[in-house]
Structure 1
Amino acid sequence: MRVDCYMPTTILIVDDNEGVRNSLMRILEKDRGFRVVGEAGDGSEALELARTLSPDLILMDLAMPRVDGLEATRRIKAERPETKVIIITRYHEDAYRQAAAQSGADAFLAKGTRVPELLTTIRQVLEGGPGKQATLA
């Protein structure tokens, strides 16, 4: 009998657009190295789920109701600095990248990033370094 001791990376998806959440979930579920443990539609819900689920990684939208992605990232990183956060947004301006870096985000990606680049960035962030799409400074 063979026992597989491999533990997949746990991921929380946070976006106010259900279609985006579903798309990301479908992409990640195809990879045995990842397991989506929850999804949230706003930053407030993300804070609660981050506390209860303790995900390894959070994919976080910026513009959301109640608590935006920057504030949610700031609070999550204050409570759980080991949790990796990748901001995924439709906003490409440098000011948003800088704000993401200041909030403690580990990477910044544009929505619409190709799947291979998304997966590469996730893996690089999990290994402790920025992905090529993830330059924050």
Structure 2
Amino acid sequence: MDQKFRKLESSIVAEFGQDSREYSEIWKLIEYTDLENQYRVKLLLEKFGYPEAEVVGTQAANVPCLVIHHSTDQALRHHYFPVFEDAANQGNLDSNLFLLFLERMYQLENGTHFKMESPYQIQDKIDTLIKVLQLRDPS
């Protein structure tokens, strides 16, 4: 549902501009939908835990991370980091999506994109971001 409104954004900008009432209205809908989806994810994870990819399919298993990925609330992202890390380690969350989630955390905290010298493996970049973002206890 959230993609429905996001897909309209570019056509609204083209027709009315970013300073328009229409643009403001679409973003209100996007933000409302994001909050509604975050609440649903919270309830789902509390009641059932992270979905198993073998049970619900890979695409559905990625949904909780995708929903939280849209949030700019760093406290929310930090709250779900261990859940998503565990899901990725168990193969229930696509590692590329988990990397995207971490990269966005970095970008939100630092105002710039994380760069790492190539070549590297995805897991190397994940591990580096976790360390740089200090997402684990140092103990």
Same topology, TM > 0.5: no
TM-score, scaled relative to structure 1 = 0.28
Larger Rg: 2
RCO higher in structure (CA 8 A, sep ≥6): 1
Larger strand share, 1 or 2: 1
TM-score, scaled relative to structure 2 = 0.28
